[in-house]
Amino acid sequence: MAATAPTQRLPHPRSRFKLTRVERRKLAIGLAFISPWIVGFVVFLAYPIYYSFRLGFTQYTGFGEPEWIGLANYREMWDDRLFWTSLWNTLYYTGLSIPIGMVVAMFLALAMNRRVPEIPFYRAAFYLPSLLPLFALSFIFLALLDPQRGILSTVLSWFGVEPINWFGDPAYAKLALVMLAQLGAGQTALIFLAGLKAIPLSLYDAAEIDGAGPWRKFWNVTIPLMTPVILYNLILGLSAGLQVFTQAYIITNGGPANATTFYVYYLYNNAFRYSRFGYASAMAWVLFIISFVLAVAVFRLASKRVHYEIS
């Protein structure tokens, strides 16, 4: 009679998570090393996120205790005409500044990818405006576009063009801020330049053998292989565009006629000028949802158009 093999007893599910004394000691040491990050995450990120979410359902002026009002802030937002104006201004600015910025940055990257001795100087010159604080660039741009003494108005006067009140006319105010955004195109251009450097030159040689000209090589070789970099800059531009604030705060103060009252600027006014922290918190969460939906849409659309490998 054959002997039966002894059955192997499986460990109890709870025993899998039991740590030995040495393992507990190592875990405690590891937690001690990352404790500054954990404290910073809880204090400066997790708790403010929770508190702002809770504050969005209250009426709070910054003094006393918040008064719970439920969805009243969100219902008021639906009927707030200035809220919709600020949202439209922000989407208009984002939808215009991102494609223009992409084209300008790609053009600069292609120019900086040329093999000429002066390229290091041009790279530094194009990147220099990105190092300046945005508020400093805003003051510089305000002086450049001054309708009376600005350099641009002086140049246009040479061609018989009347001075344009860029920041005092609702028809031009947002366009002027879009122009200001292009001063930071040098930083995006350097990212594009890094992507261009990663494209093998053999692909251009093969395309040239097949009879492709400069435009065909750019469209069929450069653009497909640059799609991951384009997606990266697109997400960064989307985030920056939806949070535009400094330019409107310094240059136009939301005017003229609320033409540059962007979403974050209106949120700032509600929180720190009108002392409506509950309403401002609700606006912040709406902006988060809009940003999340747009980011998901961009990734969905880019899933079949972004080429991460050379095939």
Instruction: Read off the pLDDT of residues 96-138 as tens digits, 9 standing for 90 and up.
Output: 999 999 999 999 998 888 887 777 888 888 888 888 888 888 8
Residue 5 banded pLDDT, cuts 50, 70, 90:
low
**CA 270, CA 264: separation in Å to the nearest integer?**
10
**Confidence band (pLDDT; 50, 70, 90) for 260?**
very high
Q: How far apart are CA 172 and CA 67, in angstroms?
A: 42
Give the closest residue to 173 by CA, choosing from 250, 249, 254: 254
Predicted confidence (pLDDT) at residue 10 exceeds the cutoff of 60:
no
Radius of gyration of the chain (CA): 27
Task: Decide if pLDDT at 52 tops 50.
Answer: yes
The pLDDT of 266-284, averaged and rounded, is 95
User: Residue range 264-268: average pLDDT?
Assistant: 96
Structural domains in the chain, sorted by start: 73-302 (1.10.3720.10)
Residue 267 is predicted with a pLDDT of 96
